[in-house]
Amino acid sequence: MAQTALNLGDNTPKPTFGVFRWWRNWVRPRATNRDEAFRESTIRVTVAILLTATILSFLASLPFFDLQGGLVSYPMLTLLAAVLTLASGIAVARHALNTAGRFLVLTFIVAASGITIIDGYWASLVLPMYMLVVLITALVLPRSSLLPISWVSIILFGVIAVLQEDAGRQLKILIEEEIVVAATDVIINVAFLVTIQALFLRQLRIEFDSRLAAMSESVQQAEQAKQEADRANRAKSEFLAGMSHEFRTPLNAIIGYVDIMLSGMAGAFSEKQTQLQTHIKHNASRLLGMINDTLDMAKIEANRLEMHLSQFSPEEELRQIAESMKSLTDKKQIELNVLTLPDLPPVVTGDLQKTQQIFTNLLGNAIKFTSQGGVAVYIGRKDAERWMFKVVDTGIGIPEEAFDQIFEMFQRVEQGSAKYEGTGLGLAISKRLVDFLGGEISVMSRQRAGSTFTVILPCEVKEPELVSW
Ligand code: ADP
């Protein structure tokens, strides 16, 4: 139930208004390089805000158009700014980042100069506008543009201020009352503040750029090291996977010869000799098991797993394996029960050999780590598309902090490793196989109470898509 509710919650589309969706889509940078993506998103955000502001301001000032002095007026200035911003927006949409940046900086220079012309070089808005020119340059253009653009702005401002002061004198506007501060004073102040801001921002950009370069270099080095390690690991795994035949054949031969001796076909042996042969067989079988695990893992690591799909009855196949392991539980005097839940699909499509291997590993572990009580296997349906089996035991259990770790290679829980045989590969192999089949594996356990391993598999396993390296 909880799962259904969760799925419903996840699938419900979040309500988004058209304008928000448009905004999110517009400000999302398309460049993949981090530095470019930063500049691009700054340009995109600024263009969107500026375009809205200039268009609104132009529309608002239209009724007073005539009163504001025709060409040299705020409506004309906002219109010009809107056109330049639009040009920047078109350039950024076409991935011409530098052109877009230049248009944006030009918009700010035009706005700052326009305000100076309209309001006079003494107006309070003038200095912040020139400082904005420097700020936007630092954000959207290469570092080398910062000082030249600051100087261009200062020169522009200086020329306008000197001309204004001159015009004021010629028109006999009362300098002392209307133009309170002399142009040179203002120019010096603006030049000083704009330059010092440009220098500070340049310092920041140098630091930012060098950190970015160092970071990209270490990411590249790590990537290279990883690729090399992967290549070496694959070579090792491929070697091992290729050697599987060579490793297994002599061991199988040893086991086969001992079997012949034990069967009596090679003549009679004394009780002591038979005991020794049993030891040889036990140890050779153990070694074969460990080699099989190692080679299976190597095969998985070398990406050499192949899918062999067929139809089979989960109940029949798992019961058969449990049956074949009954002798182990009998020897330990513990119970082994297999319970089939009523809605279990009679036939599924999957990789039988891999499903058997997963089940054998889990059941083998359950028996190995249980000395009292017993082991129960439940086979049933998980949902419309998936079936599952659970292996429940009353064994030594697993501490919660080791739940993830036991699915990794060669990881064994401390208290288990000394007393019980094993390689620490069974669960790692099982997990990789379950993943390969598109399923899930999980564990629940309490120490000294027992463990439950659950495997969920698709009723129709699909052929994997080709993985390219
Ligand atoms: P192995 O059994 O060869 O050591 P596995 O990968 O199969 O390797 O298991 C890893 C570890 O997980 C085991 O060493 C053991 O500590 C723990 N474990 C697995 N299954 C059980 C279980 N049913 N009960 C208790 N511990 C378990």
pLDDT tens sequence across 178-231: 555 678 888 998 999 999 999 999 999 899 889 988 998 999 999 999 999 988
Q: What is the pLDDT of residues 326-373, one digit of tens each?
A: 999 999 999 999 999 999 999 999 999 999 999 999 999 999 999 999
Burial status of residue 306 (CB atoms within 10 A of its CB: 0-12, 13-18, 19 or more): exposed
Confidence grade of residue 2 (pLDDT, cut at 50, 70, 90): very low
Q: What is the pLDDT of residues 65-93, one digit of tens each?
A: 655 556 677 888 889 999 999 999 999 99
Say which residue the tokens 């877009």 belong to: 100
**Biggest distance spanned by C-alpha atoms of the chain:** 135
Cα 226 to Cα 32, 232, 468, distances in angstroms? 21, 10, 17
What pLDDT, on a 0 to 100 scale, did the predictor assign at position 417?
54
Average pLDDT on 153-159 reads: 94
| CA of residue 411 to ligand 1 center, whole Å | 8
For residue 424, which atom of ligand 1 is closest to its CA? 8
Q: Whose CA is nearest to atom 8 of ligand 1?
A: 424
What pLDDT, on a 0 to 100 scale, did the predictor assign at position 282?
87
What pLDDT, on a 0 to 100 scale, did the predictor assign at position 69?
59
What pLDDT, on a 0 to 100 scale, did the predictor assign at position 414?
64
What pLDDT, on a 0 to 100 scale, did the predictor assign at position 468?
40
| CA of residue 365 to ligand 1 center, whole Å | 6
Confidence grade of residue 133 (pLDDT, cut at 50, 70, 90): very high
Q: Which residues, judged by CB distance below 6 Å to any ligand atom, belong to the binding site of ligand 1?
A: 361, 365-366, 369, 393, 395-398, 406, 412-413, 416-417, 422-428, 451
CA torsion sign for 134, 139, 141, 142 is positive
3-state secondary structure of 130: helix
CA torsion sign for 259, 261, 266, 271 is negative
What pLDDT, on a 0 to 100 scale, did the predictor assign at position 186?
85
Q: What is the pLDDT of residues 367-424, one digit of tens each?
A: 999 999 999 999 999 999 999 999 999 999 999 999 999 999 888 886 555 678 888 8
Instruction: In whole angstroms, give the CA distance from residue 264 to residue 262.
Output: 5
Check whether 17 has a pLDDT greater than 70.
no
Check whether 6 has a pLDDT greater than 50.
no
What pLDDT, on a 0 to 100 scale, did the predictor assign at position 469?
37
Which of these ranges, 29-33, 110-114, 125-129, 326-330, has the smallest mean pLDDT? 29-33
Instruction: In whole angstroms, give the CA distance from residue 260 to residue 406.
Output: 38
Residue to substitute in 332, 361, 365 for testing ligand 1 pocket (most ligand atoms within 8 angstroms of CB): 365
**Higher pLDDT residue, 165 or 277?**
277
Q: In the structure encoding, which two tokens stand for residue 122, read together?
A: 């003494």
Q: Whose CA is nearest to atom 19 of ligand 1?
A: 365
Residue to substitute in 406, 409, 444 for testing ligand 1 pocket (most ligand atoms within 8 angstroms of CB): 406
User: Measuring CA to CA, which residue among 137, 98, 139, 133 is closest to residue 114?
Assistant: 133
Average pLDDT on 310-335 reads: 95
What pLDDT, on a 0 to 100 scale, did the predictor assign at position 119?
86
Q: Whose CA is nearest to atom 16 of ligand 1?
A: 413
| CA of residue 418 to ligand 1 center, whole Å | 12
Q: Report percent pLDDT > 90 for the chain.
A: 60
The DSSP H or E segment spanning 453 is strand 450-458
| CA of residue 298 to ligand 1 center, whole Å | 20
| CA of residue 415 to ligand 1 center, whole Å | 10
Check whether 12 has a pLDDT greater than 60.
no
Q: In the structure encoding, which two tokens stand for residue 69, read together?
A: 């002095």
| CA of residue 437 to ligand 1 center, whole Å | 22
Average pLDDT on 13-35 reads: 79
* Average pLDDT of the chain to the nearest whole number: 87
